[in-house]
Chain A
């Protein structure tokens, strides 16, 4: 059983479409991070959210941390082929620096 459940696991869309990826848990996290991983590379940090209800924007990407700090979402507007990759959420349960990762969402954006 995964502590962090991501959905959907796979997503294939056309360029220009919008999408949302969800990261859910029954546990409370002191912070949550989103990473993106491309084939043959390690994950790269996109954002860290700390406060319940927090919303952060990174160009066409919008990240939200749930009010209860148990869930998060990543919304991409007008997806582009360059957004293709594996998106991972990762949470810190007790501010220890030990990150627990979700299984990831594989996104394919077709031109």
Chain B
């Protein structure tokens, strides 16, 4: 079956702009989690959506937001971009029941200039 698809794969923005990243989970998966990966901090949990509701949230500022649609596809938005937002943003899907395997996409690499 098709894996997790993230778009775009690469993007360059300037400070102050906003960006929207998209994630299509594996068919049948109802949970989508977002992570920020940087060399210094590793994978940091942003938030998790399950059946269109935010179920968990990490310690990121309000500039980071997300949503999930009825087909389980998810988007995350970062407003007023800062240089420190440059990172690989990873989306992971799972069935969402208890602890199961997270299936990651290849990520969206964001560079903020």
**Tally of chain B residues near chain A (CB < 8 A):** 26
**Tally of chain A residues near chain B (CB < 8 A):** 26
Q: With A and B bound together, what is the CA distance between A95 and B107 in angstroms? A: 25
Q: With A and B bound together, what is the CA distance between A95 and B56 in angstroms? A: 12
- Out of B4, B35, B102, name the residue touching A45 (CB < 8 Å): B102
**Interface 9-residue window, one of B70-78, B79-87, B92-100:** B92-100
- Report chain A residues within 8 Å CB of B94: 97
- Report chain A residues within 8 Å CB of B98: 95, 97
**Interface 9-residue window, one of A18-26, A58-66, A77-85, A100-108:** A100-108
Q: With A and B bound together, what is the CA distance between A48 and B101 in angstroms? A: 8
> A52 at the A/B interface (Cβ < 8 Å)?
no
> B112 at the A/B interface (Cβ < 8 Å)?
no
- Report chain A residues within 8 Å CB of B104: 41-44
- Out of A40, A44, A92, name the residue touching B99 (CB < 8 Å): A92
A42/B4 contact (C-beta < 8 A), A97-B48, A97-B96, A98-B48 known: yes
Would A95 and B106 count as touching, CB distance under 8 A?
no
Interface residues of chain A, those whose CB is within 8 Å of chain B, are: 2, 30-31, 33, 35, 40-45, 48, 50, 88, 90, 92, 95-104
**10 A-B Cβ contacts within 8 A?**
A33-B102, A41-B104, A41-B106, A42-B106, A43-B104, A45-B101, A95-B98, A103-B41, A103-B42, A104-B42
